[in-house]
Amino acid sequence: MPRVASGLNRNRDAPVNLAIIPQVNQRPKPTLPPFLLACLAAIPLIAGEWDPKMEPPLGLSFPLMATNDRVAVSQDILISTEKVLPAGTVLRTIFRPATIGEAEKKNRRGVDENSYSREIPKATTKGLMTDTERKMLERAYQVVWTDPIEFRRALEVATPANLRLVLEPPPGVNPPPLETPDFPDGLCIVGSDGSLRVLSVLKEGRGEKSGFRGGDTLLEMAGQPVSTGLQEFAEHYRKEREAAAKKREPLRFKVRRSSGETETLVLRIPPAWNSALEE
């Protein structure tokens, strides 16, 4: 019997509006001498502050809802150019691969058995991961998260490249399906209300360097209107991206900002390795 992760009490069947989550590490009003305040302010920097990898943070932007005592996707979302999660897809749990901490590299012991849901890894030793990751995957399969807020907290501290999403399988199917998000060029794109929007952008990724922002609505790609269907967009995106790589040309997008203004963005695609041979 799967274990259910604890969460906050609420009506599980009602969609959850989580557009705003209280910020952490809020400091009280100054009541100490300036020197002590400066020392206290430096402590979080030394210990390591929360550093979201996407903007806005993936934990805030990821489209989630509660349905039938389960966490589910509230909008179609493109997790890779090959995969679209339709609205209503139930997300059974979330975890990340097993890792070994910096202090544990010297004696090669003490694998972080709880890393699938909480702590941020400091280092990875590839040779020790196969058996450990398998065991941790089995543990993750036994946990069912029912609270979108807890789910979001895990997303907040996770590196997108290390995310593993376990989907709720159909009756009789075992093991549950496993998906690894690979947001195209660091862009988390969703489809809703007949349009495609960028929810979140990976920091220092190709999309951010091209000027994409969370809240952008995609209007055109390569001079053509984008498809309103996320699957059709993904197929068109792959073709245009491959063509741009072969021609060694950028891929141009027209977007509408959340302010209502329209802008043209240039996404620079790495050239294809075989392009020089084809010329």
Please state the rounded mean pLDDT for residues 259-275.
84
Cis bond before residue 56 (omega within 30° of 0): yes
User: Mean pLDDT score of the chain, rounded to an integer?
Assistant: 74
Is 250 a member of any domain? yes
For residue 232, the model assigns a pLDDT of: 93
178, two tokens: 């496993």
For residue 173, the model assigns a pLDDT of: 85
Count CB-CB contacts under 10 A for residue 143.
17
Same domain, 75 and 171: yes
What are 74-95's pLDDT values in tens digits? 999 999 888 999 999 999 988 7
For residue 216, the model assigns a pLDDT of: 96
What are 100-112's pLDDT values in tens digits? 443 344 444 444 4
What CA–CA distances, in Å, run from 114 to 55, 93, 111, 140, 265? 27, 14, 9, 10, 41
Question: Of 179, 196, 226, at which residue does a domain stop?
Answer: 179
Is 192 a member of any domain? yes
Is 206 a member of any domain? yes
Same domain, 197 and 254: yes
Please state the rounded mean pLDDT for residues 169-187.
88
For residue 161, the model assigns a pLDDT of: 75
93, two tokens: 């749990």
Report whether 129 contacts 98 (CB < 8 A).
Answer: yes
Is 32 a member of any domain? no
What are 131-161's pLDDT values in tens digits? 666 677 777 788 888 999 988 888 887 777 7
Same domain, 8 and 146: yes
For residue 16, the model assigns a pLDDT of: 42
What are 198-256's pLDDT values in tens digits? 999 999 899 999 999 999 999 999 999 998 889 999 999 999 999 999 999 999 999 99
Q: Poorest-confidence range of 114-118, 147-151, 162-166?
A: 114-118
For residue 131, the model assigns a pLDDT of: 67
Same domain, 84 and 142: yes
Question: Of 179, 209, 238, at which residue does a domain stop?
Answer: 179
What is the pairing mode between strands 83-85 and 64-67? Answer: unpaired
- In the chain, the number of structural domains is 2
Same domain, 225 and 268: yes
Confidence of residue 6 (pLDDT cuts 50, 70, 90): very low
For residue 130, the model assigns a pLDDT of: 55
State which H helix or E strand residue 267 sits in: strand 262-267
Count CB-CB contacts under 10 A for residue 198.
22
Same domain, 205 and 245: yes
Question: Of 163, 179, 195, at which residue does a domain stop?
Answer: 179
Residue 141 belongs to domain spanning: 3-13+56-179
Same domain, 174 and 194: no
Write the secondary structure of 42-93 as one string of H (helix), E (strand) and C (coil): HHHHHHCCCCCCEECCHHHHCCEEEECCEEEECCEEEEECCEEECCCCEEEE
65, two tokens: 């809802």
Instruction: Round to whole Å and give the CA distance between 232 and 227.
Output: 6
Question: Of 181, 30, 178, whose CA–CA distance to 92 is shortest?
Answer: 178
Same domain, 8 and 130: yes
20-25 own/partner pairs: CB under 8 Å, 24+ apart: 21/59, 21/60, 21/149, 21/152, 24/50, 25/49, 25/50
Confidence of residue 5 (pLDDT cuts 50, 70, 90): low
* pTM (predicted TM-score): 0.69
Is 110 a member of any domain? yes
Instruction: Round to whole Å and give the CA distance between 238 and 196.
Output: 16
Is 29 a member of any domain? no
Same domain, 9 and 132: yes
Report whether 208 contacts 184 (CB < 8 A).
Answer: no
Question: Of 115, 157, 155, 120, whose CA–CA distance to 135 is shortest?
Answer: 115
Instruction: Round to whole Å and give the CA distance between 270 and 227.
Output: 24
Same domain, 169 and 62: yes
Same domain, 60 and 143: yes
Residue 247 belongs to domain with CATH number: 2.30.42.10
Is 36 a member of any domain? no
CA 271, 272, 276, 279 torsion-angle sign: negative
Is 37 a member of any domain? no
Residue 59 above 60 pLDDT?
Answer: yes
Same domain, 171 and 67: yes
Instruction: Round to whole Å and give the CA distance between 265 and 182.
Output: 21
Q: Poorest-confidence range of 107-121, 181-195, 220-234?
A: 107-121
Question: Of 217, 226, 212, 224, whose CA–CA distance to 256 is shortest?
Answer: 217
